[in-house]
């Protein structure tokens, strides 16, 4: 006998609209109020574009649920967007040294977030937040290599229970004008947990530990909290995992 649909769907997962992060609500209210005013005045040529802007702002601050992969030593993408750079570089001086990422060159994976991507950033591994360092700077195109050293940015260092440290950097871009941390030194986070937000369009650099090769390739799209960037201790490059 066929089960009723409601019973057959029990325990399943249904799609739902992503929630909007509280940080975006004030912008939506302001834009919505302007839209309503234009509509009230019958200024349709202004009301329709403002309605589109209001919808875009709501989409920009969307905060979807993510399914974080489970596994030993997985390093998870902290940002949505495209992998635009994979380079071997020295760690930033704010995170270098014995108490940070050391002084040897590391593989840096750069993920560029367009204004259409989700801008909630997430922890690449679980552990303790050791450092949160904000650096004021310029607002160059975040897609440029020198943005890592010149732009306004915020470094975050996480240490797992085995003492492995991973650093990542939130970088402001041409349009981005604020980097917001949700964590502070001493906080304990889970892999994939929300740790910050950048508005509006920017980049995140992730420094993979020595001996860890990236599992993503240039041009690949990443999903924060879901895409695997690498596996600790696996130094041989592997095929990217489609997301």
Verify whether residue 31 is a known catalytic residue: no
Q: What is the 3-state secondary structure (H, E, C) of the chain?
A: CCCCHHHHCCCCCCCCCCEECHHHHHHHHHHHHHHHHHHHCCCHHHHHHHHHHHHHHHHHCEECCCCCCCCCCEEECCCCEEEEEEEEECCCCCCCECCCCECCCEEEEEEEECCCCCCEEECCCCEEEEEEEEECCECCCCCCCCHHHHECEEEEEEECCCCCEEEEEEEECCCCCEEEECCCCCCEECCCCEEEEEECCEEEEEEECCCCCECCCCCCEECCCCCEEEECCCCCCCCCCCC
Catalytic residue among 31, 110, 148, 202: 202
Q: Which residues are annotated as catalytic?
A: 202
């Amino acid at each position: 006998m066929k089960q009723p649909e409601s019973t057959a769907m029990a325990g399943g997962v249904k799609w739902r609209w992503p929630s909007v992060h509280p940080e975006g609500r004030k912008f939506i209210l302001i834009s919505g109020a302007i839209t309503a005013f234009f509509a009230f005045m019958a200024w349709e040529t202004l009301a329709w574009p403002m309605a589109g802007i209001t919808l875009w702002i709501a989409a920009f601050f969307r905060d979807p649920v993510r399914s974080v992969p489970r596994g030993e030593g997985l390093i998870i993408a902290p940002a949505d967007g495209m992998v635009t750079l994979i380079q071997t570089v020295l760690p930033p001086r704010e995170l270098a040294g014995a108490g940070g990422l050391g002084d040897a060159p590391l593989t840096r994976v750069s993920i560029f977030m367009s204004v259409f991507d989700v801008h909630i950033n997430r922890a690449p591994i679980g552990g303790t937040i050791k450092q949160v360092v904000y650096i004021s700077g310029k607002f160059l195109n975040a897609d440029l290599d020198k943005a890592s050293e010149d732009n306004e940015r915020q470094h975050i260092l996480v240490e797992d229970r085995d003492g492995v440290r991973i650093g990542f950097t939130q970088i402001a871009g041409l349009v981005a004008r604020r980097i917001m941390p949700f964590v502070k030194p001493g906080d304990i986070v889970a892999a994939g947990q929300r740790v910050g937000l950048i508005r509006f369009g920017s980049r995140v650099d992730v420094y993979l530990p020595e001996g860890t090769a990236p599992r993503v390739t240039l041009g690949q799209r990443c999903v924060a909290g879901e895409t695997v960037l690498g596996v600790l201790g696996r130094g041989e490059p592997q095929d990217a995992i489609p997301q």
